[in-house]
Chains A and B, each alone.
Chain A
Amino acid sequence: MPQFFSNKRLVLLLVGMIFLVALISFSLRDRNHASLPEQLIKDVVGFGQTMFSKPTQYVTGIFNNVESLLNTYDENKRLKARLEDYATLQASVNDLQLENEEIRKIIDKEESLRAFNPIQSTVIARNPDQWEEKIIIDKGEIHGVDVNMAVMTSQGLIGKVILTTPYTSTVELLSTQNPNYRVSAVIADEQEVFGLIEGYDVERKELVLKRIDSEFEVKKGQKVTTSGLGGIFPKGILIGEVTEVTTDDYGLTQLAYVKPAASFSILDHVIISKRSINPVDGTDGGNTEADLTEGAGEES
């Protein structure tokens, strides 16, 4: 090769390569914390990104409105058919809610795992190379967002916060292949059956609900929600619907495939749920239980 690699260039290239490999391994080691310069860059770029994504969402919003206008007639017909059922359902829900509140008052239990403060937020970017299932939203620490909080759309759970800076945060979607990604879940239908959402089956495009006690019977079509026992997520966020039940690799517990209720493909508005009861770093997070064993780890 004529003059492509002179000695000086070769040395520069090698030094550069070594430096980059060092940087890559350094940043791969601890990806859930952003250092100060990283936070600064993220906030500045995030600000610019908001400037660009807000008008785009306005335009796509108009297109969506036109599309829903075209579907109005069909939808109206279907909705009318459902309306009667809805009224009776609403009445019984109201009744049950009232009763629940009264009973809670009687036993002096005000707090509930279900209660959470919703933080409304807009998706400003999706990781454009899409090798990892991540989105970036426009609310950060200043607005009360914290690592490991549950993120959902109106349809159901979509993921959790993995990284925060003052003005933005990064959300990892449920469809990730990260093996440390767990969500404590429950199938509540006559009796409560607990399990852990662990992993995503790429071929079936369904979540895998593992560690279900084999004594319980799980049926196709049952709804899976968050259990609130993982320490961070509130209780009762819809995750999806069971499509198939088998035994796991070792034959000790059951395994269910869950079709996610929310779609992960086009996301614009999401809700971050900050639960009212104190969070504990349990299975929903890093599983350190640092709040419970405070100080214990430092001594050893």
Chain B
Amino acid sequence: MIRYVVVIISVLLFYMEPIFGLFSPIELNGDFYVLVPRFLIIYLIFIAIYYDRKRAMLYGLIFGLLYDVFFIDIIGLYSFIFPLMCLVASFIVRFVHHHLLVATILTLLLVAVVEIVLFLFYTSIGIKAMTFADFYQFNLIPTMIANSVFILMFGWAFKYILLNRFNQKLLLLQK
């Protein structure tokens, strides 16, 4: 049962992202603040930390590909970034404690890295012209705030589900 929950949550998050995207950009005092929902990559990084790195990278590849084809029509962008972030997360987590707070901070850092990589990519191919200061003020900060709220709300649940699944798998292996 819990085996499927891991997949179902990622599908749910994949579909929830664009719906939350509909509420953005938010207008405050004549300025537009862009909030980018990054639920899926947060969840994938949690999978990489608490459950299985290979599984996380595989999901990252598949969902990244769907993301590329459906939304941005540049194939290979997210399908590269998602697995890479999972790989980096699993590499770093070997040297630090598996505490939820550490995982949260690590995930937020990696989400910021994703945003910055995308900023560099889009400005370098000329789709968007934007200074880093503008990006920092109107995209990065609001996005990080929105996503930290998301992690604070659901991080413990992700950890609970994924650790359960991890222990279940360990038991199966021991038998």
Contacts and interface: CB of A to CB of B under 8 A. Distances in A.
Interface in A139-170: 163, 170
A128 B76 CA distance: 17
Contacts of B157: none
| Secondary structure call for the A interface | mixed
A124 B118 CA distance: 24
Contacts, number: 113
Interface string B73-107: 11111011000000000010000000000000000
Given A53-B19, A126-B22, A131 B73 contact: no
A66 interface: no
B73 A128 contact: no
Interface stretch (B2-10, B23-31, B48-56, B159-167): B23-31
A267 B22 contact: yes
B132 interface: no
A24 B73 contact: no
Contacts of B122: 131-132
Contact of B36 (A128, A202, A265): A128
A131 B127 contact: yes
A110 to B, nearest CB: 40
Contacts of B21: 125-128, 130
Interface string A24-45: 1011100100100010011001
A192 interface: no
A48 B128 contact: no
A127 B18 contact: yes
Contact of B118 (A24, A48, A126, A129): A129
- Among B18, B79, B118, B125, max chain A CB count under 10 A is at B18
A108 to B, nearest CB: 46
Contacts of A235: none
A125 B129 CA distance: 24
A271 B66 CA distance: 27
Contacts of B77: 24
A14 to B, nearest CB: 13
B72 interface: yes
Contact of A28 (B11, B25, B37, B125): B125
A288 interface: no
Interface of A: 4, 16, 19-21, 23-24, 26-28, 31, 34, 38, 41-42, 45-46, 48-49, 51-53, 56, 123-132, 134, 136, 163, 170, 177-178, 202, 205, 265-268
Given A126-B24, A128-B71, 6 more contacts: A125-B70, A125-B71, A126-B22, A129-B71, A130-B21, A132-B127
11 contacts: A4-B91, A28-B125, A38-B73, A45-B70, A48-B11, A52-B15, A56-B22, A125-B21, A130-B36, A132-B128, A268-B22
